Structure 1
Amino acid sequence: MLPPSLYNWSSIEVFSVGFNMLYGSIPGDIGSKFPKLQHFALTRNHFTGTIPSSISNISSLEVLRLINNRFRGYVPPTLGKLGTIQELSLAYNRLEANDNKGWEFIISLANCSQLQQLILGFNSFEGQLPNSIMNLSTNLQKLYLGYNRISGSIPADIGSLVGLESLIIGNNYLSGVIPESIGKLENLNELTLSNNRLSGLMPSSLGNLSQLISFYASYCNLEGPLPASLGGLKNLFALDLLRNYNLNGSIPREIFKLPSLSWYLDLSYNSLSGLIPMEVGSLANLNELTLSGNRLSGQIPYSIQNCIVLELLLLDNNLFDGSIPQSLKNIKGLSKLNLTMNKFSGSIPIALGSIGNLHELYLAHNNLSGSIPLVLQKVISLTKLDVSFNNLQGKVPNEGVFRNITYLAVVGNINLCGGTPQLQLAPCPTDPLNKNRKKMSKSLVISLAVVGAIMFSLSFILLAWILYKKLKPSKMILAPNSIIDENYNRIPSHALFRGTNEFSEVNLLGRGSYGAVYKCVLDTEELTLAVKVFNLGQSRYSKSFEAECEAMRRIRHRCLIKIITSCSSINHQGQEFKALVFEFMPNGNLDRWLHPKSQEPNTNNTLSLAQRLDIVVNIVDVVEYLHNYCQPLVIHCDLKPSNILLAEDMSARVGDFGISRILQENTGEGMQASSTGIRGSIGYVAPEYGEGSVVSTAGDIYSLGILLLEMFTGRSPTEGTFQDSLDLHKFVQDALPDRAFEIADTTMWLHIGHHDNIASIRIQECLISIFRLGLSCSKKQPRDRALTRDVAREMHAIRNAHLKFIGRPGPEREASTREIQSIIE
């Protein structure tokens, strides 16, 4: 704590003790202690309590900087008395405001004509942004309101703050449109609107912001075409419009002519269409170009070779066709190239082997043919290569970088052979007519041929007899809709029987209403599988098998459980036998990690906060894929911990589609009638299903919300403490926001040990965000629940914000990076 004697130095003008480990509170009578104080800074310490209103009596105060502490309560409404104040920085605290109380200080600040910086990000401000904020000084240069829970719309006359240079209002709940008047902020160099609920068209007046350096508007609901006026942003360094989904039309060629655009251009996961203009070659200084997840078509312009400093080129999930341009070889610094899920044809260009800095190359799900170029063996930087699901043929290289490449995927190319043993491909055939055989005499050739034919016939007869004897008890027939991974041979019934030790309890992994899952180790002991055997005593179990086959036939996602084959046969007792064979998940299901039985919780059998966030993101990504991108759309109907499997790296795989429903028409949030009553599991099933409502995506969102609450509280929705009117949803709702730590699963803290006050603040913010998202998903009425895409957007934002705090790089760039850095500075 600061020594009380410090406050006796009445002549102090600068009081700055930032970046220490000091704690305590600001004295209530500080206004009378330092009558000459001009600069008061407590940045990044552990101070608590409220901001005393007497601080408004220090008439000489120019800078009040309380960033990164634990102050809470309301900001004093009398701050407007600080007539000389130039900077008011209160970010990273627990300060509050809502529609009823707390925003009064904004009204009073209208009297502060010299105010240049108002930094309020990372607090607990909520409710509508008061229109009185437009009465602030025209000298205001920085307005930071990001990472709060502010709702309502951006004031229509935001353009009256003509002195603004930085406007950061991302990561809130703002809705409505971007006001046309924003174009009046001609001094603006940084604009962050990301992670809000903004909608409507982008105003053409944005093109007036000629001084703008960075523009972030990702994860919003903006729609319509990109205005060509964006070509007026002559100083733009970075443009991020990721995941607005409804931005459509072609990309204006004016954007590709921006002379200063050099950090990155991200227009991914929208609905943009048409060609990439030839003007893309004008972006000679651009580091990253991301256009993934749109409807762009045509060929990649050869002019892209002029983007000589490009490091990332991501064009996946589009409709590009033609051949992959040889001109890519001129982009010597290209580190990551992703062309997955397009319609590229022809061969893989040998020219790619001359890109010496290439680390990751993704070409899966195209129409490529020919062989994998041997020259790629010499690209020593290459760590990841995915050429899955093309029409490639010939030998897979196994020398050079292919000996120890981190990730190599070649599935879905039935004519590939050779490669490393891990790929489990068939060996390549050798040439039967080598030079020595050519020298053999004609008679010897004939003799060998006759002998060979006889031996082959005998061998064939013997092999047929053996197979007949072995397969007689159980004839294994592949179901019509089987999905066969080219890396696996068809598995005979006796191999499954032996591999599970006759489906013994020792190998039982789990049991449900529709069947049981067993661990299966094949004879080679090099391949471990999971076999799901269905109960067939009633017709609904057979329908479950058919439903799961049909669902798994249609869908493919990295976070879905991978099916190897499906089997239908008659067992040795003459009974019908149906089973699905999956990849084996060594870490079991999520339920055993959330609720370890008969074990003392420790770091080996529980999940950390970061692991849970990663798992939820995996699950949400699958749900978003099923609801929005799968053709046709799929409703899972049974999301719960026991249906979430964990791979060796603890990434999640969603499984069990036994009661899923496939929508015959893609109708967005469409529905289909249920013919089997309640679809789902007690505790997770949407309440409207119990009332006979039709199956919908909103039902999955309810289950997802309950699953999310369970993962971070450690409480099952069916546990005995929840009865009468109390359920998991209400339990969490009643605890927020003050008791987020209290209701959180304490086993998470086993992984991080002691955390200081700053860490506690960040963790609590993360937990509150998670719980609020879970509550918005699990509301009783389907119409009140969050939409799938909004859940995915918010979940990614929560996870990425936490990753940045703990210093772990996330998979996607967050627009708030510069914001956070600016606030800390």
Structure 2
Amino acid sequence: MTIMVLHDNKLGGRIPAELGETMTSLEAISLSNNSFTGPIPTSLTNLSRLGSIQSMLFLDLYANLSGEVPLSLYNLSSLISFQVGGNLLHGSIPADIGNKFPSMQILNLNNNHFTGIIPSSVSNLSNIKTLLDGNRLSGYVPATLGRLQALQQLYLSVNMLEADDKEGWEFISSLVNCSQLQHLVLSRNSFRGHLPSSIANLSSTLQKLYLNDNKISGSIPAEIGNLVGLNSLVLPNTSMSGVIPESIGKLENLVELALYSSGLVLLLGHQVSSVNTITVTLALGSTKELLHKGWGSPRPPHKDVVAAPHQVGGSMTLPASFTLQGAGAPNSCFGPIPESLGNLKNLYTLDLSKNYYLNGSIPKENLKLPSLSYYLDLSYNSLSGPLPSEVGIMTNLNQLILSNNHLSGQIPNSIGNCLVLEKLLLDKNSFEGSIPQSLGNMKGLTVLNLTMNNLSGGIPDSIEVLQNLTSLSVLDISFNNLQGKVPDGGAFRNLSYKSVAGNTELCSGAPQLHLAPCSTRHTRKGRKKKFKSLIISLTTTVTVLLSVSIILLVWMLREKLKQKQNERAQSLIAGEKFERIPYLALSKGTDGFSESNLLGSGRYGTVYKCVLGNEDREPLAVKVFNLCQSGSSKSFEVECEAMRRIRHRCLIKIITCCSSIDLQGQEFKALVFEFMPNGSLDVWLHPKFHKSTTRNTLNLDQRLDIAADIIAAVEYLHNSCQPPVIHCDLKPSNILLAEDMSARVGDFGISKFFPENASKRVLNSSSTTGIRGSIGYVAPEYGEGSAITSSGDIYSLGILLLEIFTGRSPPDDMFRYSLGLHKFTEDALPGKALEIVDSTIWLHEEPMDMPKVVSSEPMDSTTRSSVQECLISVLRLGLSCSKQQPRERPSIRDVAVEMNAIRDAFLTFVS
């Protein structure tokens, strides 16, 4: 017996040709997990005795073996295992490969660049147990695979294999004859049509069934419960729909059920009881490593990961993760959360997030789970009612995520019992009252998000305790009704305006917060209380002292009046409520509307930088309307009305307006906005007259944040405004970037309000006056005379998303004779995603063969896969939004949930 084992080292360079010339007696050779480069030496064909024990093995995720596999290697008929996966090999699979290896048990060609079809002759590999392939193969899967009686693992993922309702699914029926089949992985191909019902007739030994990232439609076959050996059923990112069959309750070994981003419906109240054996036996299994990496829900594990369920006699022996995350699906789960989930005593995570129609209150029983320690995520649902005081029982919980529901009432003081809580997200609800003092007990709290609630009270009374939380690094209390001075210590030291915006009664001396200074206006109530207390006390004193007090009071009121008059003169810059600014002030502040202060121009007006008063004051942006342009007066009125009604952190903030007469006696109209120091998104996506550098382009993180901000703004306009607003002109030049590169949607000059009695989808057609929007972004139905709808904004948003990540403008000359940016992107997915994205994304890192994201190390396959998955997901979202037919486009709420899921998943990975 002669073997050579050199795997798991750091060997590099080429495999020496002498190896096959001098060591002809070798029976087995393993060179895996090294860094060899170059081609496979043809001299290895001299090792005619290979395979009598174990095969050659060149399996290395980071290897760089290239070229074609020497045809002579296929003549080593004694090979038992032939593994060349994880390289850069190319070429096609020989048509007669099945006739070459009569003893072959493992054939591994995955993660290379092989093209062509899968030869039907593979069905002659009668002893094959494991068939691994993830390349660029196309065509149909041979319908004769059922001859492989010994087949245990079939991996055909990451190819371009096809099937539809007419042809291609025959191999599934054939595999019914493979009685030992354990793993069937068909992920990331081009399979279409309905999943054949014969899949339910596969071997009862089948443990893993992966069909994710295909275009399979229809419903799950009702007989899926026949596959009693399944421990992983992975169906996300497909077009499947319908109710999950009740027979799934027969799958007693199931430990992973992944359904995110599909249209499948789970009737929680009905089916959880019928699948009690599934939830009771739910164990970490193959999802353990993924959860430890921070993913919010189990993702399909790497195809080489095989893990058995950790269970004994049908009962759970390890802490479990129960995940039914919607992650963008329109209705993954609906109905109330069943109280029976409280019986799963060994759960350490519970994730029911992003299921739009999951409603009702939070059951108290689900807050009493003794093992719940990692996280509880019920975000992005339609839950209502109060947060039960039983939340304080979860003393070992690390993360509590309840964002974007309809929860109300006060935040229970018992929440302070969650002493080890690190992340608390209660944003986008309707919580009221003060912020509990007990939050100060959470010494390890790092993230606290309370934005968009109805919380009230003064900061000295309810939040100052947070100053002492030394670990708190992210704090957001924006858009509440909080009052008083913002502390300047602890977590408040590094706050930005975005974290406190929307609290009109807050004040601060910190310039970066852009809040009014803590002057008389903000302390009026406190002083009145002091005066009242003083007067009451003086009534018990002598008349002389009372008289003195009255005189003192009159004097102070007079001084207050003077101070108020002075503050009113300063309120153009510092206050929350602004007086109209006269024409002369704007003219002086823009140096006579000089070209040196020009920021940009549009259809109805021109925007200038304006500094009122001293140069050390913060600049403003003035939009001067060109009243000679037809429709500009109407645009001024529409924009005034829109800005009067709306308020959101991702919308441009209006300061005041000016409707006056200029020095020539002509009518003058202007709007004054907050100044955006980083200009419009357009100049960042398409730099003009400059070489692209890291200073004038955007990295991937910034683009994801900007996209999320834009979508949040549109969601607010469509769903939270009364009446709702259709923007009608979403494009990069109307997206402005603040100092911290957060996005603001602006220019409401052609926006449209829904009539109070209109539906939330369609405006009365009589309210439309021609096409609204810009060429390349305007919805196609508008060109056919259709009424204005929210779907029109979704189309523009989809095109905008594609532009943000490809860097290509829809009116670009390259699309003059083609079908446009949508078709250009659609044709490139999924395989060429990295080829069509904006190349300036990679300028933010050091040059190298492959782009990288967050570190100075070359991008490994895991990072590359995550970057590619992120880009494919966001481009697919853009394609979904920009579909030709309005009824095929998602709602803005669906888009917001999907975008947040994409960004959160990517940020979790890079962190």
Both structures adopt the same fold (TM-score exceeding 0.5) = yes
* Aligned match of 2:604: 514
Distance in 2 separating the partners of 1:35 and 1:726: 51
The yes-or-no answer on 1:785 pairing with 2:865 is: no
* Aligned match of 2:312: none
AA at the equivalent of 1:705: G
Distance in 1 separating the partners of 2:869 and 2:428: 34
* Aligned match of 1:694: 787
AA at the equivalent of 2:272: L
User: 1:624/1:15 Cα in 2 relative to 1: closer, same or farther (>3 Å)?
Assistant: farther
Deviates more, 1:339-348 or 1:140-149: 339-348
Contact 2:402/2:425, CA 8 A, preserved across alignment:
yes
* Aligned match of 2:354: 243
Give 3-state SS (helix, strand or coil) of 1:509's partner. Answer: strand
Contact 1:245/1:270, CA 8 A, preserved across alignment:
yes
Q: How does 1:502-651 map to 2 (within 5 A)?
A: 502-522=592-612, 523-537=614-628, 540-608=631-699, 611-651=702-742
Deviations 1:480-514 (A, max 9, x none): xxx99639897665443233221112221211121
* Aligned match of 1:286: 397
Deviations 1:536-590 (A, max 9, x none): 3467322212221222233233322233333333333333322222222233223
Aligned length in residues: 754
Q: Which has the higher contact order (CA 8 A, sep 6+)?
A: 1
Which of 404, 428, 431 aligns to 1:317? It is 428
Q: TM-score, normalised by structure 2?
A: 0.73
* Aligned match of 1:817: none
Question: 1:697 deviation in Å?
Answer: 0.5
Contact 2:435/2:463, CA 8 A, preserved across alignment:
no
Question: 1:657 deviation in Å?
Answer: 0.9
* Aligned match of 2:178: 112
Deviates more, 1:698-707 or 1:43-52: 43-52
Give 3-state SS (helix, strand or coil) of 2:668's partner. Answer: strand
User: 1:277/1:265 Cα in 2 relative to 1: closer, same or farther (>3 Å)?
Assistant: same
The yes-or-no answer on 1:88 pairing with 2:154 is: yes
Distance in 2 separating the partners of 1:637 and 1:502: 32
* Aligned match of 1:660: 751
* Aligned match of 1:381: 471
Give 3-state SS (helix, strand or coil) of 2:358's partner. Answer: strand
Contact 1:107/1:133, CA 8 A, preserved across alignment:
yes
Question: 1:634 deviation in Å?
Answer: 1.1
* Aligned match of 1:357: none
Q: How does 1:63-102 map to 2 (within 5 A)?
A: 63-66=130-133, 69-102=135-168
Distance in 1 separating the partners of 2:904 and 2:416: 33
Distance in 2 separating the partners of 1:569 and 1:734: 53
Distance in 2 separating the partners of 1:278 and 1:189: 32
The yes-or-no answer on 1:270 pairing with 2:361 is: no
Distance in 2 separating the partners of 1:537 and 1:101: 63
User: 1:676/1:101 Cα in 2 relative to 1: closer, same or farther (>3 Å)?
Assistant: same
User: 1:747/1:536 Cα in 2 relative to 1: closer, same or farther (>3 Å)?
Assistant: same
Question: 1:268 deviation in Å?
Answer: 1.4
Question: 1:743 deviation in Å?
Answer: 5.8
Which of 118, 141, 146 aligns to 2:212? It is 146
Give 3-state SS (helix, strand or coil) of 2:347's partner. Answer: coil
Give 3-state SS (helix, strand or coil) of 2:268's partner. Answer: coil
The yes-or-no answer on 1:11 pairing with 2:52 is: yes
Give 3-state SS (helix, strand or coil) of 2:431's partner. Answer: strand
* Aligned match of 1:808: 910
* Aligned match of 2:291: none
Q: How does 1:327-366 map to 2 (within 5 A)?
A: 327-347=438-458
Give 3-state SS (helix, strand or coil) of 1:585's partner. Answer: coil
Distance in 2 separating the partners of 1:616 and 1:584: 20
Deviations 1:768-807 (A, max 9, x none): 6555544443344323333333333444455556667xx5
Which of 487, 501, 510 aligns to 1:420? It is 510
Distance in 1 separating the partners of 2:779 and 2:238: 28
Q: How does 1:160-199 map to 2 (within 5 A)?
A: 160-199=226-265
* Aligned match of 1:211: 281
Deviations 1:282-307 (A, max 9, x none): 43433222222212223334444443
* Aligned match of 1:135: 201
AA at the equivalent of 1:700: D
Give 3-state SS (helix, strand or coil) of 2:910's partner. Answer: coil
Distance in 2 separating the partners of 1:485 and 1:128: 61
Which of 32, 35, 40 aligns to 1:2? It is 40
* Aligned match of 1:307: 418
User: 1:748/1:342 Cα in 2 relative to 1: closer, same or farther (>3 Å)?
Assistant: closer
Question: 1:698 deviation in Å?
Answer: 1.3
User: 1:714/1:488 Cα in 2 relative to 1: closer, same or farther (>3 Å)?
Assistant: same
Give 3-state SS (helix, strand or coil) of 2:609's partner. Answer: strand
Distance in 2 separating the partners of 1:127 and 1:597: 46
Question: 1:157 deviation in Å?
Answer: 2.3
Contact 1:15/1:41, CA 8 A, preserved across alignment:
no
Identity fraction in percent: 60
Contact 1:585/1:645, CA 8 A, preserved across alignment:
yes
User: 1:414/1:590 Cα in 2 relative to 1: closer, same or farther (>3 Å)?
Assistant: closer
The yes-or-no answer on 1:295 pairing with 2:386 is: no
* Aligned match of 1:359: none
User: 1:399/1:762 Cα in 2 relative to 1: closer, same or farther (>3 Å)?
Assistant: closer
Distance in 2 separating the partners of 1:706 and 1:422: 34
Distance in 2 separating the partners of 1:808 and 1:681: 36
Deviates more, 1:793-802 or 1:144-153: 793-802
Deviations 1:140-160 (A, max 9, x none): 222223333332222222222
User: 1:124/1:614 Cα in 2 relative to 1: closer, same or farther (>3 Å)?
Assistant: farther
AA at the equivalent of 1:117: H
Question: 1:749 deviation in Å?
Answer: 5.6
Contact 2:450/2:477, CA 8 A, preserved across alignment:
no
User: 1:642/1:171 Cα in 2 relative to 1: closer, same or farther (>3 Å)?
Assistant: same
Contact 1:164/1:185, CA 8 A, preserved across alignment:
yes
Contact 1:97/1:127, CA 8 A, preserved across alignment:
yes
* Aligned match of 2:850: 755
Distance in 1 separating the partners of 2:797 and 2:490: 45
Give 3-state SS (helix, strand or coil) of 1:254's partner. Answer: helix
CA RMSD in angstroms comes to: 4.1
Contact 2:351/2:378, CA 8 A, preserved across alignment:
yes
Question: 1:138 deviation in Å?
Answer: 1.6
Deviates more, 1:211-220 or 1:5-14: 5-14
Contact 1:217/1:242, CA 8 A, preserved across alignment:
yes
Contact 2:89/2:112, CA 8 A, preserved across alignment:
no
Distance in 2 separating the partners of 1:518 and 1:680: 23
Deviates more, 1:213-222 or 1:198-207: 198-207
* Aligned match of 1:681: 774
Give 3-state SS (helix, strand or coil) of 2:222's partner. Answer: coil
Question: 1:730 deviation in Å?
Answer: 4.8
Question: 1:74 deviation in Å?
Answer: 4.2
Distance in 1 separating the partners of 2:866 and 2:663: 60
User: 1:687/1:31 Cα in 2 relative to 1: closer, same or farther (>3 Å)?
Assistant: closer
Question: 1:193 deviation in Å?
Answer: 1.1
Distance in 1 separating the partners of 2:693 and 2:509: 41
Which of 483, 495, 498 aligns to 2:588? It is 498
User: 1:206/1:373 Cα in 2 relative to 1: closer, same or farther (>3 Å)?
Assistant: closer
Give 3-state SS (helix, strand or coil) of 1:183's partner. Answer: helix
